[in-house]
Amino acid sequence: DFIQMAVRKFRGEDKEEELVIDYVSKNMNNMTVNMPYQCFINGQFVNADDGKTYDTINPADGSIIASVSSASLADVDKAVAAAKEAFENGEWGRMNARERGRLMYRLADLMEEHQEELATIESIDSGAVYTLALKTHVGMSVQTFRYFAGWCDKIQGATIPINQARPNHNLTFTKKEPIGVCAIVIPWNYPLMMLAWKSAACLAAGNTLVLKPAQVTPLTSLKFAELSAKAGFPKGVINILPGSGGLVGQHLSEHPDVRKVGFTGSTPTGKQIMKSAATNLKKVSLELGGKSPLIIFSDCELDRAVKMGMGAVYFNKGENCIAAGRLFVEESIHDEFVRKVVEEIKKMKIGDPLDRSTDHGPQNHKAHLEKLLQYCETGVKEGATLVHGGRQVHRPGFFMEPTVFTDVEDHMYIAQEESFGPVMVISKFKNGDVDGVLRRANTTEYGLASGVFTKDISKALYISEKLEAGTVFINTYNKTDVAAPFGGFKQSGFGKDLGEEALHEYLRTKAITVEY
């Protein structure tokens, strides 16, 4: 491994300004990856105003990948000013919607051309298994941009029959307008995909944006910035500021020139953002934490429920917002279910995320691993049965064993709080007690996702009606799609990502009335 500073220059097809990019380059995964590491403001990669940097770490071995610029308050002001200028006076605001769509398609194509490089960067920065990073982290990001690119020229208002001012006539029509400068603040579990889910809808609607990636995973968003410039996005439309949430995120949420905040992260931070956004009454959408219940009935296809149930918990090493935080398994199949899960866990290959045969990579960062180990200790102390795992894996990096707890009772901490890691939390329910298990599944302040396994379609639909969650999976799990709205109820937040609904999070409606 080596870290090399390289200066590359290129001239975009239709751009007068030269883009100078300082890369940290590394040879790995049978390729050279070139990683921008500076703030991206007004179409340029620049050091933080005060020159501050921090190290981003590879969780597979604890090594430093790159020293990244840490944006300051002055950088936030510059980026917001650039986004405002681009929105109000730049080429972006004058562009035809179809042309905007073309730019987004071009960006999606470029992301696809660079998918191996993006997936490698994502893998070393977040610990995602490379094969998954390629398919999901990067693959779904490309699809998201394509999906929203298609919306650009289909954003339409309505004509509305209002009372006429006789003898004159009246007509009211509505226009869907972009909001202006949007701030986007995202977490570290799917760094590029979280960027894509929000930015694609935001851009398709015609806004400009300033995005803050999670401090621990800034690299794919900076690579994305490079690709957006190469695709020909006008300067100032997309600005990326790596840095601290308390500083950069906080200032963005309070900033008077920012009109909307799109946030994904924890519920406490979401509440803080909502408070900050009140300073100028920004529009807000919040995708927050979850403790998603998964109910498994004895009349399910058991092997499928085992496989999907495991995916529901261990996908992306459990760092998955819709991860099944609690499994309710019907008494008559409980022991067999647990036995099969443990049997399958033993077949999982834990190791180097870049190795194509690896199933389970390192947790995202050290502090998170430590929190997870503590979570398991709490579970044991409370009297839940630790059936498997619960420990750090003895190898370099931040690996954790896939873990299973049974005999988890409703009052326990691990029954109520999200782990955000590879921890299966299993509770039994009495045979046939549909309403009892529903009551327990809904006894949480979260309401992000949920799932049910049963061959009885009436029971499944009844359950889906009663579950208080923004997403219900029946006989499947983790089946998200760019066209389907995604977002939570209760303290899992409000506002949707993906699908047509996401577009409206980034639009405002103007009603125009004419008399003739």
**Binding test (CB under 6 A) with ligand TAP, winner from 245, 351, 421, 495:** 245
212 is in an annotated binding site: yes
Whose tokens are 């799109």? That residue is: 262
Q: Is 287 a catalytic residue?
A: yes
Tokens of residue 345, six digits: 């866990």
Q: Are 322 and 92 in contact (CB under 8 A)?
A: no
For residue 234, say if its preceding peptide bond is cis, omega within 30 degrees of 0. Answer: no
Q: Which of the following is catalytic: 152, 202, 300, 321? A: 321
Least distance (Å) between residue 446 CB and ligand TAP: 8
86 is in an annotated binding site: no
Tokens of residue 514, six digits: 């004419």
What is the identity of the amino acid at 504?
A: H
Nearer to ligand TAP by C-beta: 287 or 330? 287
Binding of ligand TAP by 80 (CB under 6 A): no
Give the C-alpha separation, 401 to 392, whole Å. 6
Nearer to ligand TAP by C-beta: 29 or 471? 471
Q: Are 428 and 331 in contact (CB under 8 A)?
A: yes
What is the identity of the amino acid at 432?
A: G
One DSSP character per residue, 434-467 reads: HHHHHHHHH-SS--S--EEE-S-HHHHHHHHHH-
Least distance (Å) between residue 368 CB and ligand TAP: 8
Least distance (Å) between residue 488 CB and ligand TAP: 6
Q: Which of the following is catalytic: 122, 226, 254, 287? A: 287
Binding of ligand TAP by 289 (CB under 6 A): yes
Q: Sign of dihedral through CA atoms 381, 382, 384, 390?
A: negative
Binding of ligand TAP by 182 (CB under 6 A): no
Give the C-alpha separation, 428 to 168, whole Å. 69
Q: Report the DSSP beta bridge partners of residue 319.
A: none
**Binding test (CB under 6 A) with ligand TAP, winner from 34, 126, 253, 403:** 253
Give the C-alpha separation, 305 to 297, whole Å. 9
**Binding test (CB under 6 A) with ligand TAP, winner from 196, 288, 338, 384:** 288
Least distance (Å) between residue 444 CB and ligand TAP: 13
How many helices (H) and strands (E) the chain has is answered by 17, 23
**Binding test (CB under 6 A) with ligand TAP, winner from 212, 223, 282, 340:** 212
Least distance (Å) between residue 231 CB and ligand TAP: 25
List residues binding ligand TAP (CB under 6 A).
Answer: 185-189, 212, 214-215, 244-246, 249-250, 253, 264-266, 269, 272-273, 287-290, 321, 418, 420, 448, 488
- Catalytic residue numbers read 287, 321
Which segments are annotated as binding site for NADP(+)?
186-188, 212-215, 245-250, 265-266, 371, 418-420
